[in-house]
Structure 1
């Protein structure tokens, strides 16, 4: 946590290969673009129109209380929010039940598809993973509701614990740096791994909290959760595959990628997501970051169309990379 004298309101700690004493960064990577480039993008006239409401083809799911044995089940809530049930553990990734991915209730990207699980139908939640602090991934209103209803263990990257603690003072929170590992229970652990992204909650705190991917190791296989990332020449995917061997499941973003000149360093496109899957030795993918909040220029159906083409071109069976819609349940085959 940051001290009173720090220039960083969220975190203070030693300089490292991805922290300069005030801000985090992607080693050898692409820094987020500045205000002029943001304006160039916002006024480029290329933003496709989404419908205000897009019903999912799946009804809201009503999950079982637990999944045990060799089972691994993923239920899509929306965007990067998923319920992962494995080894008797119920895990939520980047949970957002709010109507907007925004600091405001009256402005900002609005949800076009209802959550795939009604909040009231959630089973008991044990663990919540928060990959970084952008509003489409760290939603304090949802975290407050989860604390009140489930008192889960929140796990996040450095600095985001301060943001969560301010909103949920009685929460149990663990913060992790890249390369860190923590034990959750017998046979279950979490590693924090690099992702190529950035962070901000406002105009003056850019990159002052860390972003991360998480690896969940269980007796039923390893799960690689990536909330947001640029492809970064596949460096982080290769490293994850070399370190962890093989993943039964990866939770990977493949939407919100246009225009490429602006999004290249922060959001991978479908072709890159499929390449990343292969570099990291992933058996199955639950795809996310599409058809919930319009954050970028592409049409709502463009990511799924482009994903199908990328899978064909790279010779990957379509059933191995599932673009999950709200309410869809994916029972991941054993490997």
Structure 2
């Protein structure tokens, strides 16, 4: 089949969205300007225990030289659809899986969204890039009043300006995000009430609930020339039922990041860990865990329970749509961990602590 300009654009957008590089070749966005630290050199953020992102040459090698992409269904009809209550009071935590890395967490009278993406594509373009393969587990109009939004980093499958603008127009929530991503949000829509924080910053959310931003093995970008000019993070959410460790995107490495969270923030009641977007391993190893990695991360962080996410909604990488869930079960069996301790919900399913 000949490579037309439109087909090339679609290929590149799909490939680059998985690693944070869209077809906006020159980023004109404003970027973070702040003091030098142990993870910011005055121009870019870095992780002394991480790995730099793959080069453009490696992206092209994967996309055009070695890609073996499994076929996904064009659309999957959800078996579940959640209609959340207006609030959840007391010590209970109610977690509703929206899809990909998006969650609604309700506790202590607060409604918190994590990495909300209701758009049809994880892309800056409406006609190219990874396309949603199932409805969100909660219809946007069924959302209760949202008080707080947590956005982990700037990749398009996590920081979705269109969704943040809709949330801001309807609910005007606080948006908590790592340094630099607030600039991206406000540059697109100054109505987004973005607040930016560094690793280890603890932010009170109200009613005894707080969130701490912690280092994670990943990186960030919105264009070719703004790589790591905004920070990325995972979250430790303090709730009346215990601490929730929310990892939206991460490689495993040697497990340092997970063990540090256990040491600094344990005991953890629940870990939300990514299990998808991991093939081919030579390309994705440093930035996305596979299910075997996620089971080891579960052991390292010491959480009592785990939930898997970051799979089955957008085809970012090469594995089949059901491969992460199958491989998770096999990895749990191999590690002799009961499958009920680490489950992967479907969009619209609910888990309560």
TM-score, scaled relative to structure 1: 0.94
Output the CA distance in 2 between the equivalents of 1:330 and 1:189. Answer: 20
Give the drift of 1:9. 2.8
- The structure 1 residue matched to 2:282, chosen from 239, 243, 261, is 261
Aligned residue in 1 for 2:252: 231
Aligned residue in 2 for 1:182: 203
Output the CA distance in 1 between the equivalents of 2:78 and 2:99. Answer: 10
Q: Is the 8 A contact 1:194 1:236 kept in 2?
A: yes
- The structure 2 residue matched to 1:136, chosen from 141, 157, 178, is 157
Output the CA distance in 2 between the equivalents of 1:279 and 1:241. Answer: 7
- Count of residue pairs the alignment pairs up: 325
Aligned residue in 2 for 1:4: none
Q: Which runs of 4+ in 1 moved over 6 A?
A: none
More displaced 10-residue stretch of structure 1: 42-51 or 256-265: 42-51
Matches of residues 26-37 of structure 1 in structure 2 within 5 Å? 26-37=47-58
Q: Is the 8 A contact 1:253 1:287 kept in 2?
A: yes
Q: Does 1:56 align with 2:78?
A: yes
Aligned residue in 1 for 2:328: 307
Superimposed CA distance per residue, residues 239-258 of structure 1 (whole angstroms, 9 cap, x where no aligned partner): 00001111112121110000
Q: Is the 8 A contact 1:102 1:108 kept in 2?
A: yes
Give the drift of 1:29. 2.1
Q: Is the 8 A contact 1:8 1:22 kept in 2?
A: no
Q: What is the RMSD of the two structures over their aligned residues, measured on CA atoms?
A: 1.3
Give the drift of 1:67. 1.3
Output the CA distance in 2 between the equivalents of 1:134 and 1:78. Answer: 16
Output the CA distance in 1 between the equivalents of 2:333 and 2:135. Answer: 31
Q: Which runs of 5+ in 1 are unaligned?
A: 1-6
Q: Does 1:17 align with 2:59?
A: no
TM-score, scaled relative to structure 2: 0.90
More displaced 10-residue stretch of structure 1: 145-154 or 167-176: 167-176
Output the CA distance in 2 between the equivalents of 1:293 and 1:285. Answer: 22
Give the drift of 1:8. 8.5
Give the drift of 1:45. 3.5
Give the drift of 1:330. 1.1
Give the drift of 1:56. 2.1
Superimposed CA distance per residue, residues 74-96 of structure 1 (whole angstroms, 9 cap, x where no aligned partner): 11111000101112211100000
Aligned residue in 2 for 1:84: 105
Report the secondary structure of 2:254's partner residue: helix
More displaced 10-residue stretch of structure 1: 151-160 or 170-179: 170-179
Q: Is the 8 A contact 2:29 2:184 kept in 1?
A: no
Q: Is the 8 A contact 1:12 1:22 kept in 2?
A: yes
Q: Is the 8 A contact 1:147 1:168 kept in 2?
A: no
Give the drift of 1:186. 4.0
Aligned residue in 2 for 1:249: 270
Q: Does 1:106 align with 2:123?
A: no
Report the secondary structure of 1:217's partner residue: strand
Output the CA distance in 2 between the equivalents of 1:54 and 1:8. Answer: 36
Q: Which runs of 5+ in 2 are unaligned?
A: 1-27
Q: Is the 8 A contact 2:44 2:228 kept in 1?
A: yes
